[in-house]
Structures are given as structure tokens and as C-alpha cells.
């Protein structure tokens, strides 16, 4: 993962509210108190969040300028679609929320370095961005995670996947929070891919010491009925789950389970809430953005509504997203938590993986290992030439008949490949070295299954 940008650090960014004077007096979105805390609807008035909350998390797909399509968003005036108009509104919302952790999706790499990171540093945040090796027209944006520097610090290096960015953050009391920032597969016909991407992100937490986890972001599927939501809620995808009106393929049930007890911050009782609608005019609405948390050490204090009040909700239904006042086609979501328990659980163990119960499940496990190895290699911060050399140096020799020793020629080839691997590992950084070694281990395990 890309370390916090140093190029933007010296720049002194102006206050986002100063950039957006038209919304200085705008009302904050409402906090919906958890039944475990209070059973009333309370509108937040303090910039510090709900009382008794020790941790607030904000997530938002901010709509990358690259993907602003004037035809798709023909209901929006061109001036309101410009980044110059939308960026101050985004920053003002972040400043007004004052969350301890901010997870953003669809952040363009250049915007992160030149605008977003410097602006959030001025608000007291540090941040990390997904690895940017694939910069180009096909991969112009990624996920970015920010944390309040006065209360949290990063443990280790951020860990990227193709669709997730994982960070482990520690507070002054030594409590460690793992944050999996997701932007899952967008094709509605690919529910199994979304589940696999979640499994990969959760599996990545194995071996990382942490006491609680947050899985959050743009899931590109509805919270109320989807394979991804079922996977997080139950640990696996049970048969009969439907998504977008169709039954999820049985392959989703073969994805290895996770070992976390997770709950959604947005419960089924919040029937009026949604985070995405396009055209408005009382059209279709979905809760594509989700926020899940481990229940052993975190207690939900409040969930933030996507709206300030019912009239705000009605206005969005009528005008659609984005709009002159809503800078993205997604609405931000947020939740507030407190740490609970006299002793915190140690979740730094590998999430449970399924033991194959049939021959049909074994290929899925091998496929998952191979996919994880490929993702690690793709995310590894090395050059294209180094990647090609690593692939060549880890090429598998043809299998020998059992009981036969390698020929002198094969032994020489093995030694040469080993030399090339060691030479490459010595030439890259510590993070890249660890990722390459891990990718090779996973590939070997996949071949043995």
C-alpha cells in the first residue's frame, strides 16, 4: 500500500468549510441511537460525535471524477458535477463528522496526493492509499483510509488487495482495531466474486494482532438481501440467499468461512434508510454501503442516518444523486462505538477455514489459495520487470515420476532459479519481500491440494 503522501505534507490546506461557505450553516445528519444505548432519535449537535462514543467511523464512496458520466447523471447541472464544486462539499462533510476513522472509495491517486491528503492532514488526520502500481485509464482510483493522528496510530504497513485496503490502528490504551476498507465487484451478476473478495480481506487479518475489526465500504449489493451480507452475518453463505431478485449461485457456499462474529451497524429496522439512488423521482433505492463490526469488543452506540430529517430524504428521492448539495451518487454512512469488556479478545489468529467435506470442495480451496497468491503479487510494490522476473524464477519444473531423483540438469536449473529469487528478494524493500515470500508459499499450498 502507498504510504501517506509526503509530497502534499508541506502544503497548508484551507479549512474545507472556508471552501464551501454556502453550507457552513447546514444541518448535520441525524444520529440514530442504538437500542442498547438509547431508544430515541437524536439529532447530533456536537462536532465531537454522540456522548459516550469512543470511536466513530465514516465511510463514503466519493465518486471519482473519472467516472462522472454526463449522460448517466443528466439530471445534474454540469457545474454541480465538476470536481471544483464537489470537493469542498466532501471535505466539509468529513470535517463536520469529525470521525476517528474515515474510509473513502473511488479516490483518484492524483487527487489523494495533491488535494485530499494535504487537506485531511490540516484537519489532524494521517492516511494511506491502496497501492498505485496500476495507475492508468483502467485503474485511476482506489480506497483511502484516514485516522485521527491525535488518538490513533498505524501498526505495521497497510495491506492492499485488489478490492480492499486493510489497516491496523492502535489507540493510546493499546487497543487495536483492524479496518477493512472495501470497494467490491460492481457487476450485479457477480455475487460470488464479492464474497471471495470479503473472504480474502478477512483472511488477510490472520496473524495480525487486533482486538476488534470493522469491515466497511461500498459493497455494490444491497444490505437487506445479498450474498455478501449473508457471508458477514453468518460466516458463510447459506443456501437460498437471493441477490437482485435471483438466487445466489451455489459456488458462494463453497467460499471458505470466516471466524468473526460480525453485526451490521445498520439494522433491518431502519427501513427508511438508503445510501444510493440515481434518478430520483421516487425511483429505486438501495443500501449499497455497509458497515460491519465485531461484537466481542465493540458496542454500537449510534448509527448515523443518511439524512438530516424526513424532508432531506424526500428531496433526495425527488432529485436523485448526485445533486448541487450532495456531491456523490452515494450518501455517507457512519457509526459510533464504545469499547466494552474488562479484557479484550485476541483476534490475531487465522480466521477459521473450512475442512473440505467432499471432493467438490477441495478445488475451491486450492483456487482460493491461488487467487490470494495472485492478488498479493499484483499488489506488490515492484516494477513490471521485477514482477516478470519473479514469475520466471518461481516457475514450477515438470513433476518427476515418484522415486526418481532430479537429473544434474534439473538440479542446476533449480539452483539457478533459487539464485534468481534470492537476488530479487535482496533488491526490493521489506514490505515487497514479505509479500513475495507469502505469495510463493500460497502458490505452493495451492499446487499441493
32 and 78 inside one domain: yes
Q: What is the pLDDT of residues 366-419, one digit of tens each?
A: 777 777 778 778 778 888 888 888 888 887 655 555 556 667 777 777 778 878
User: 260, exposed or middle or buried, with CB in 10 Å at 0-12, 13-18, 19+?
Assistant: buried
Residue 2 forms part of a structural domain: no
Q: What is the pLDDT of residues 38-52, one digit of tens each?
A: 333 344 433 445 657
Domain extent at residue 404: 362-448
154 and 299 inside one domain: yes
pLDDT band at 132 (very low <50, low <70, confident <90, very high): low
Q: What is the pLDDT of residues 96-130, one digit of tens each?
A: 999 999 999 999 999 999 999 999 999 999 999 99
Name the strand (E) or helix (H) holding 92. helix 83-97
Main-chain dihedrals φ then ψ at residue 62, nearest 5 degrees: -90, 5
Residue 366 forms part of a structural domain: yes
Q: What is the dihedral of CA 18, 11, 172, 28, to 10 degrees?
A: 20
Looking at the chain, the whole-number percentage of residues with pLDDT higher than 90 is 50
317 and 217 inside one domain: yes
Give pLDDT, residue 395: 74
Cis bond upstream, residue 322 (ω within 30): yes
Give pLDDT, residue 15: 42
Residue 344 forms part of a structural domain: no
Residue 437 forms part of a structural domain: yes
CATH code for position 85: 3.60.10.10
Name the β-bridge partners of 243: 246
Q: Which of 48, 362, 413, 347 is nearest to 202 (CA)?
A: 347
- The total of structural domains in the chain comes to 2
Q: Measured at the alpha carbon of residue 159, what is the angle toward residues 158 and 161, in degrees to the nearest 5?
A: 140
Nearest-angstrom CA–CA distance, 196 and 205 = 15
Residue 327 forms part of a structural domain: yes
106 and 167 inside one domain: yes
pLDDT band at 303 (very low <50, low <70, confident <90, very high): very high
Compute the radius of gyration of the chain from its Cα atoms. 23
Q: Measured at the alpha carbon of residue 219, what is the angle toward residues 217 and 225, in degrees to the nearest 5?
A: 130
Last residue of a domain, one of 339, 374, 392: 339
Give pLDDT, residue 4: 39
Over residues 6-34, the mean pLDDT reads 49
Over residues 17-42, the mean pLDDT reads 52
Looking at the chain, the whole-number percentage of residues with pLDDT higher than 70 is 79
Last residue of a domain, one of 339, 372, 405: 339
Give pLDDT, residue 26: 55
292 and 377 inside one domain: no
Q: Which of 257, 182, 174, 159 is nearest to 210 (CA)?
A: 174
30 and 172 inside one domain: yes
Q: What is the pLDDT of residues 156-202, one digit of tens each?
A: 999 988 899 999 999 999 999 999 999 999 999 999 999 999 999 99
Confirm if 439 and 204 have CB atoms less than 8 A apart.
no
305 and 374 inside one domain: no
Amino acid at each position: 500500500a502507498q504510504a501517506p503522501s509526503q509530497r502534499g505534507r508541506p502544503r497548508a490546506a484551507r479549512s474545507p468549510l472556508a471552501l464551501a461557505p454556502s453550507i457552513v450553516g447546514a444541518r448535520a445528519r441525524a444520529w440514530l441511537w442504538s437500542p442498547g444505548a438509547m431508544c430515541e432519535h437524536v439529532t447530533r449537535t456536537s462536532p465531537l460525535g454522540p456522548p459516550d462514543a469512543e470511536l466513530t467511523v465514516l465511510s463514503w464512496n466519493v465518486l471519482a471524477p473519472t467516472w462522472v458520466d454526463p449522460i448517466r447523471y443528466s439530471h445534474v447541472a454540469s457545474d454541480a458535477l465538476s470536481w471544483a464544486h464537489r470537493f469542498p462539499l466532501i471535505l466539509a462533510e468529513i470535517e463536520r463528522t469529525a470521525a476517528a476513522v474515515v474510509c473513502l472509495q473511488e479516490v483518484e491517486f492524483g487527487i489523494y496526493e495533491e488535494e485530499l491528503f494535504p487537506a485531511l492532514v490540516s484537519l489532524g488526520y494521517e492516511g494511506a492509499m491502496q497501492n498505485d502500481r496500476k495507475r492508468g485509464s483502467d485503474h485511476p482510483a482506489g480506497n483511502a483510509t484516514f485516522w485521527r493522528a491525535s488518538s490513533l496510530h498505524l501498526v505495521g504497513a497497510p495491506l492492499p488487495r485488489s478490492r480492499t485496503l486493510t489497516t491496523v490502528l492502535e489507540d493510546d490504551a493499546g487497543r487495536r482495531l483492524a479496518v477493512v476498507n472495501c470497494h467490491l465487484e460492481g457487476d450485479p451478476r457477480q455475487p460470488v466474486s464479492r464474497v471471495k473478495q470479503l473472504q480474502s480481506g478477512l483472511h488477510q487479518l490472520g496473524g495480525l494482532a487486533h482486538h476488534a475489526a470493522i469491515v466497511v465500504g461500498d459493497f455494490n449489493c444491497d444490505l437487506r438481501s445479498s450474498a455478501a451480507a449473508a457471508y458477514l452475518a453468518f460466516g458463510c453463505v447459506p443456501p437460498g440467499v437471493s441477490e437482485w431478485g435471483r438466487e445466489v449461485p451455489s459456488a458462494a457456499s463453497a467460499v471458505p468461512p470466516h471466524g468473526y462474529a460480525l453485526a451490521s451497524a445498520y439494522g433491518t429496522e431502519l427501513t427508511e434508510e438508503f445510501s444510493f439512488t440515481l434518478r430520483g423521482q421516487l425511483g429505486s433505492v438501495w443500501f449499497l454501503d455497509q458497515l460491519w463490526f465485531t461484537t466481542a469488543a465493540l458496542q454500537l452506540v449510534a448509527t448515523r442516518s443518511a439524512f438530516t430529517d424526513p424532508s432531506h430524504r424526500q428531496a433526495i428521492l425527488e432529485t436523485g444523486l448526485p445533486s448541487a448539495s450532495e456531491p456523490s451518487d452515494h450518501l455517507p454512512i457512519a457509526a459510533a462505538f464504545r469499547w466494552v469488556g474488562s479484557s479484550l479478545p485476541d483476534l490475531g489468529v487465522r480466521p477459521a477455514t473450512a475442512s473440505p467435506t467432499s471432493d467438490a470442495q477441495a478445488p475451491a480451496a486450492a483456487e482460493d489459495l491461488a487467487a490470494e497468491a495472485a492478488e498479493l503479487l499484483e499488489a506488490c510494490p515492484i516494477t513490471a520487470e521485477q514482477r516478470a522476473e519473479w514469475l520466471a524464477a518461481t516457475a514450477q519444473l515438470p513433476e518427476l515420476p515418484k522415486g526418481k531423483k532430479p537429473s544434474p540438469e534439473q538440479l542446476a536449473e533449480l539452483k539457478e532459479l533459487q539464485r534468481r529469487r534470492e537476488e530479487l528478494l535482496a533488491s526490493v524493500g521489506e514490505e515487497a519481500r514479505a509479500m513475495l515470500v507469502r505469495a510463493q508459499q500460497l502458490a505452493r499450498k495451492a499446487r499441493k491440494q
